Amino acid sequence: MVQAIINISGKANRVLNIIKARYNLKDKSQAINVMAEEYEELVFEPQIKNSYIKKLNKVSKERKIKVGSMKEFDKMFNIKE
């Protein structure tokens, strides 16, 4: 475990107190850990690549097949029960 002495603003202190109360935490260190985990999900969430968007647009322009019901789908692809 890493220990650090930090200087925070009054607003940051209030935010940590709210997080501490909301998650029923023992101290502000735990509140900082919760805040870091939530921030990590927000910042490091995988971004959609431009190549994927191009591929998605290409697929959406392709010819569509109307299937109808599941029975018609099974018949189209020779699927037997």
What pLDDT is stored for residue 24 in this prediction?
96
Mean pLDDT value across residues 11-21? 95
Domain count, the chain: 1
The closest alpha carbon to 37, from 21, 23, 17, belongs to 23
With CA atoms as reference, report the closest residue to 28 among 40, 41, 13, 10: 13
Q: What pLDDT does residue 75 have?
A: 80
28, 20 Cβ separation under 8 angstroms: yes
Give the model's confidence band at 81: pLDDT under 50 very low, under 70 low, under 90 confident, else very high: low
C-alpha dist (Å) from residue 80 to 66, 69, 70, 71, 72: 20, 15, 12, 10, 12
Q: Is residue 29 part of a domain?
A: yes
53 inside domain: yes
Q: Where in the sequence is the domain holding 71, given as residue range(s)? A: 10-76
Distance CA 30, CA 19 (A): 9
Q: Report pTM.
A: 0.54
8, 16 in Cβ contact below 8 A? Answer: yes
| pLDDT tens, position by position, 25-51 | 999 999 999 999 988 877 776 677 778
Q: Give residue 12's pLDDT band: very low, low, confident or very high (50, 70, 90).
A: very high
64 lies in a domain? yes
Q: Tell me: pLDDT of 8 over 90.
A: yes
